[in-house]
Structure 1
Amino acid sequence: MPITRKPKAALCLAAALAALPLGASVSPGFAAGPSPVAVASRPVDGSTNVHADGSRIVLGDGAATMGSVEVRQRSGIANLAPVRFGAATSAVVVGYQAGTPDGSTAEVDVRALVGDRWTEWTPAASGSPTALPAASDQVQLRIIVLAPPKGAKPWVSSVSVEPTNAVQAGTMTIQAAPLKSRVYATREGLVGGTTANGHVIASRDHFVALPSRRGLASNGSGTYTVKVCTTSGSRCAFEPVWDVGPWNTKDDYWNPSATREMWKDLAQGKPEAQAAYQNGYNGGKDQFGRTVANPAGIDLADGVFWDALALGDNSWVDTTYLWTGTGGRGTVSISSGYLNIRNTASSSGAVVGMAGKSAQVTVECQTTGQSVSGSQGTTNIWLRVNAGMYVSKAWINAGSFGAC
């Protein structure tokens, strides 16, 4: 969303919520056959800027400011419960009704479960087949409502989803090594503000923002996680993607050029803001027509910027988009804060990075070291998450791995 603040900061949306499926003839959340599945619009606890009004999900009354920062668009996001079909499908037809008064918008996105992980989100036009990134028997929908700072209350109702093979599935490939690119990082700040998925930004927080909602994880989830390292490789952080920005909101630059939502003539891995700033691409402007003042492709929360990577100013970083590849993974299992990454398999080892709550970490191998007690029990197993970097398995939800 475009907002009137320093352009380097991420573009915050609103809080997330979940809803439950409707239909007495099927088990909650699952469809037994190819008929359309109606989805109820009943928000659960935790929603902050959408609410149910009868059968409709409506944008709430969240403030159009974050302290002294004026937000040019109010927004809300509603995640709906996953739906499973009787067989894999290459596409779905999503049905819904929407009201978009006074310059507001309403969008429904879909994603698919492929193997053991969710694909990115894809916008779904009502009544038209939407190709899934790959064939799947399980999908999930979410609703995004956006409006000017005052007045308008966009809404969505009568949401349903139906499998169809009218169009072929996309050509999504999960590569062995996830995409890695060098991008310019800026500090988000905005303590006390609310991110795109409803997370309230805390002091020295741990998350990142990328300029597309396609890779936006739900609040508290690390479904979409990045590994961010200094260009020297001396420090790394594993952090969930919880916000949208900087500059653009439809620049999924980590995807192949042909499948990017916008800017399809740019090389994979190159943010539009970088091309605009360095090469005058798009007249030097972002998708909203603003003159791009820096080449930022990622925003870092303060704890990532200052503590995990020990940056003193905006800087180039090496970023790996973990959901674009395969490999051993584990999930950080802590209730808040961050997990220190050490240079040896011991809590006395030097801190060389951090991993945020719910983030996924790559696992290269495991070794024995100091015994540690944590959320996953007591163990002397340590996981190597990068060259010369280790975390105790006591805090990582993961299987077993080969020895280092």
Structure 2
Amino acid sequence: MRQFAAVAVLLAAFATPAWASDKLTLVVAALSVDRSSSVDYADGTRLAMYPPVRLAAPVNTFSASVAGVDIRGQLPDGNWTEWTSGVLTSSASVIQPRLLHSGQVSDFRLTVWQGPAPEMRSGPSYRVFATREGLVGGKTANGHIIKSRDHFAALPSRRGLSPKGSGSYTVKVCAASGRCAWAPVWDVGPWNTRDDYWNSTRQEWQDLPTGKPQAEAAYQDNYNAGRDQFGRDVANPAGIDLGDGTFWDGLKLTGNSWVTVTYLWTLSGPFGYVHTPGDTLNVRNGTTSEADIVGLAGHHAQVRVECRTVGEVVDGSQGTSDVWLRIAPGKYVAEAYVSGVSGAPAC
């Protein structure tokens, strides 16, 4: 509530919203940039993040007076739609803009309205090729500085990029061994930056089947003459990059491998966020600390909750609790390390 109150004051100072023909035009002020989550890239471009804006009525469509603007909308359960330069997958009365630009940016106008609903569909999971990102000390697309054995993922589209320090877009990645890792999406890649292959209406390469990354088609089928969107020869079929910790510790992979990826923000149902600053959360096959570890969840990662049950009492970052959450068949985490869970049924 305090965040939105601050935004309301900002808009009063820098914008003059007025409904006309069911459209609302806002002036997004350059001074309102959220510098803590904005990112400066080595090529001179910048991803400017702006605070969320609460509107009087839900919208799903927008236009902007400058190029490079995306928005996302907050859903009733607190989740967010993907970032889009066109139409939101669900109408929302809370929206957040961001701007990818180079050079100096002044105020710009954002016009929003309620238009026809899109027919975009997302698959629950796809089998894709995973590579290890490495690059310790480098900066991810959301501004995170990569540390040793880090836990995050990269997808080849900014539509599923979490702001720095958040897991609003998280993937569940499972190896052939049955181990799974929950990792927030903090980087863009591999190979492409406009290939949201998990969506039925994708930004580019729309002649490819949903669930097939462009890099996979280029590598296996010589699609686009075997090149990515930048004209580079594709050297592997990767559709996801994984931080070292997710790759080595979460999944116990020793080399690049085919994995099954679930794009958790596309699902519905109860969810929560992992809070283990500087560490990870063990995922076990039972509800005690003696149960086998069958995966890991990174700090800030979102977990979808199938049900809740009682087990060993755990003292965690969110207090002391005997509640355990089943976040996949046969996989449990202690709720003492997970915030925001509501509405989960009993197992």
Of 292, 312, 332, the match for 1:370 = 312
**Amino acid paired to 2:346:** A
Name the residue aligned to 1:119: 81
* Structure 1 portions without partners, runs of 5+: 1-19, 51-61, 65-72, 97-105, 124-129, 147-153
CA contact (8 A) 1:373 1:379 kept: yes
1:400 to partner: Cα distance: 4.9
1:362 to partner: Cα distance: 1.7
Residues 105-184 of structure 1: pairs in structure 2 closer than 5 A: 107-116=68-77, 117-123=79-85, 130-146=86-102, 154-165=103-114, 167-172=115-120, 179-184=124-129
* Structure 2 portions without partners, runs of 5+: 1-5
The answer on 1:77 being equivalent to 2:51 is: no
CA spacing shift, 1:343–1:22, aligned 2, 3 Å = closer
Q: Give distance in 2, aligned partners of 1:263 and 1:309.
A: 30
After superposition, the CA RMSD in angstroms is 2.4
Residues 199-278 of structure 1: pairs in structure 2 closer than 5 A: 199-233=144-178, 235-256=179-200, 259-278=201-220
Of 37, 45, 63, the match for 2:26 = 37
Q: Give distance in 1, aligned partners of 2:39 and 2:210.
A: 34
CA contact (8 A) 2:37 2:142 kept: no
1:239 to partner: Cα distance: 0.7
Q: Give distance in 2, aligned partners of 1:137 and 1:396.
A: 27
Identity %: 50
1:242 to partner: Cα distance: 0.2
1:31 to partner: Cα distance: 5.7
Following TM superposition, the consecutive aligned residue runs of length 4 or more in structure 1 with deviations greater than 6 angstroms are 22-25, 27-30
| Paired residue secondary structure (1:232) | coil
Residues 281-320 of structure 1: pairs in structure 2 closer than 5 A: 281-320=223-262
1:328 to partner: Cα distance: 2.3
1:89 to partner: Cα distance: 2.6
Please list the CA deviations of residues 255-285 of structure 1 after superposition, one character each: whole Å capped at 9, or x if unmatched: 00xx100000111111000011111111111
| Paired residue secondary structure (2:218) | helix
| Paired residue secondary structure (2:286) | coil
Please list the CA deviations of residues 223-265 of structure 1 after superposition, one character each: whole Å capped at 9, or x if unmatched: 10100001232x0011100000000000000000xx1000001
Residues 89-100 of structure 1: pairs in structure 2 closer than 5 A: 89-96=59-66
Structure with more of its chain in helix, by fraction? 2
1:90 to partner: Cα distance: 3.8
CA contact (8 A) 2:312 2:322 kept: yes
CA spacing shift, 1:23–1:376, aligned 2, 3 Å = closer
CA spacing shift, 1:133–1:193, aligned 2, 3 Å = same
CA spacing shift, 1:223–1:339, aligned 2, 3 Å = same
Normalising by structure 2, we get a TM-score of 0.89
CA contact (8 A) 1:26 1:32 kept: no
| Paired residue secondary structure (2:105) | strand
**Amino acid paired to 1:196:** A
Normalising by structure 1, we get a TM-score of 0.77
Q: Give distance in 2, aligned partners of 1:85 and 1:40.
A: 16
| Paired residue secondary structure (1:169) | coil
Q: Give distance in 2, aligned partners of 1:190 and 1:281.
A: 28
CA spacing shift, 1:76–1:274, aligned 2, 3 Å = same
CA contact (8 A) 1:341 1:351 kept: yes
Please list the CA deviations of residues 332-354 of structure 1 after superposition, one character each: whole Å capped at 9, or x if unmatched: 12223211111211112221110
The answer on 1:185 being equivalent to 2:130 is: yes
| Paired residue secondary structure (1:305) | helix
